[in-house]
Amino acid sequence: MKHRRFFLATLVVAAIGLGFFAGFFMPRDDEFFALRKNFQIFGALYEELVSDYVDPLDPEKLLRSGIDAMLDDLDPYTVFFDEADNSDIDIITRGRYGGVGLNVGERDGRITVTSPIEGTSGYKQGVRTGDVITHIAGKATEKMTMTDVRNLMRGEPGTTVEITVAREGEPESLDFILTREEVKLKNVTYTGYVGEADGIGYVKLERFAREAGPEVRAAILELQKKGELKGLILDLRDNPGGLLDAAVEITQLFVPQGSMIVSTRGRQPQTHREYRSQVPPLVPDLPLVVLVNEYSASASEIVVGALQDLDRGVILGVPTFGKGLVQIVKPLPYNTSLKVTTSRYFTPSGRSIQAIDYGNHDGNAIGIADSLRRTFKTTAGRTVKDGRGIEPDVPETGGPVSELEKALRRRAAFFFFANHYAAEHPDLGADFEVTDATVDAFKHWLATQNFTYRTGAERAVEELSEDLTAAGYAEADDEVAALEKAILQEKNEDFERHASQLKARLRAEILARYFGEQAQIEASLTYDPQVRRAVTTLDDDSAYHRLLANR
């Protein structure tokens, strides 16, 4: 009976939803018949399984399985949020949530604080970057997923949660009772000059939540107050997007009033919209370089596509992600929600930047073929194409990364050594520089961690040795041994060969332990090849304008 009551309640709610859908979207008669027919089939099947299957079934879990299977055939951006997930909606739309203000992640298999958010309970009570969270609310984190951690840390503002952390240099665990509060995530995480003598400003935009537009405006005004702003670098790398309206607000800071920024088109008439700049630009003529990478997506691509099509700024980096689909969040019964794709967006020239075709609705996605890519023109007549995200005006990969540095990143070695360094050095000056002695200490610490790595050359020699052995060329063993010795010598010299890059990364990570995320970002700019290339581009006025001219 309990199951039947649950089923009837579900059926009533769904019937109301079906009536809402029919009343507002008015499908054709044949579509409405198919909806009604298949809903009745689904309802009957669901009731039979819950009531009569040989083993007891969880009605909610079974229904969720059906929802997940249905959504799997669509694009990955159409997502069902149950009541427990609904806090994610606030982060997407408002950039805020109820929590203790700790950014956490897995490092070497442990739940680790990657940065406390300034001004929050975790920050004020002394939780540090690098602290390993061993217990939350009395529960060991050893086998927790990141979802488990998030659910335990978040909650209603005003409530508390106890965490226990292990900190390098501390002989015993540390306990903190943290008060949950409304945590507001910053959209702009850094604003400053990149070499004040050049007058080149830099703004790092992490996300497009509701306040992103005002924050970027405030950042530009702040730069203008600090000095003569001659050029601006807007960093959208790793920015996954957010609200379309926020992207429009940011774009209109730079483009002429009345300019087309983006348009959307979907199945329903109300999705056919044009978004134009409604206000005079804040900085109409300020030279602008926008940094992008393969993780710049959605709202980031709206901004970048508009600026490129209107010849308003130089795009530098690697091609963007290619997400040209627009979602809206619709409330559903019992405090659940659906983030659903309703339309596609198009840049001012009319191009779609969507790189993947989900149109078959069979769970398979295919890339846009080169033969199907179309050509468009910017305002100045430059050629641009659709189907690959936004392709930069100035390709800049950031240069090769040594195999040593890649291996150190994979092991989070810079991160954990910074914890070790901070434990041994209670104080640090803001003018701190990494010396050869610091690098030697890093190498010694790595040895205590049994750090090893294999290079591509080592793997190639190993394969060669196996092939020679299989072919019976035993006399080649001496040559193989000589190769292995030469490679080992090269590896031993890697620390000296790549010393400048290693020192820069160590400095940024160590500064973060004492002065926070702002100091880390500022330090990282000094060795960022794409930022340096952007500064060079803005410093050469004639080259900058040639990039934006018809060619």
Q: What is the pLDDT of residue 89?
A: 67
Partners of 233 in beta bridges:
202, 289
Maximum Cα–Cα distance for the chain, whole Å? 83
Q: What is the pLDDT of residue 16?
A: 40
Reference 201, options 549, 509, 522; nearest CA is: 522
Q: What is the pLDDT of residue 369?
A: 80
Superfamily of domain 96-184, CATH level 4? PDZ domain (2.30.42.10)
Of 34-38, 267-271, 527-531, the one with minimum mean pLDDT is 34-38
Check: CB of residue 164 under 8 Å from CB of residue 175.
Answer: yes
Dist. CA 120–CA 100, nearest whole Å? 6
First to last CA, the chain: 74
From 298, 337, 352, 524, the catalytic residue:
298
Q: Is the pLDDT of residue 7 over 60?
A: no
pLDDT band at 283 (very low <50, low <70, confident <90, very high): very high
Domain boundaries in the chain?
A: 2-68, 96-184, 192-395, 403-533
Instruction: Please give the residue that has the higher pLDDT: either 95 or 412.
Output: 412
Q: What letter does residue 474 receive in the DSSP assignment?
A: G
Quick count: other Cβ atoms within 10 Å of Cβ 286? 20
Q: Does the annotation count 58 as an active-site position?
A: no
Dist. CA 106–CA 244, nearest whole Å? 31
Q: Does the annotation count 436 as an active-site position?
A: no
Q: Is the pLDDT of residue 63 over 90?
A: no
Residues 6+ apart with CB under 8 A from 402: 494, 497, 498, 501
Q: Is the pLDDT of residue 411 over 70?
A: yes
Q: Is the pLDDT of residue 379 over 80?
A: yes
Give residue-wise pLDDT tens across range 163-193: 999 988 888 899 998 988 888 888 999 999 9
From 323, 349, 352, 524, the catalytic residue:
323
CATH fold of the domain at 192-395: 2-enoyl-CoA Hydratase; Chain A, domain 1 (3.90.226)
Q: What is the pLDDT of residue 440?
A: 92
pTM over 0.85: no
Q: Does the annotation count 309 as an active-site position?
A: yes
pLDDT band at 496 (very low <50, low <70, confident <90, very high): confident
CA 19 to chain centre: 38
From 235, 309, 386, 528, the catalytic residue:
309
Most confident region among 1-10, 142-151, 206-215, 283-292 by mean pLDDT: 283-292
pLDDT band at 129 (very low <50, low <70, confident <90, very high): confident
pLDDT band at 363 (very low <50, low <70, confident <90, very high): low
Q: What is the pLDDT of residue 475?
A: 67
Q: Is the pLDDT of residue 382 over 50?
A: yes
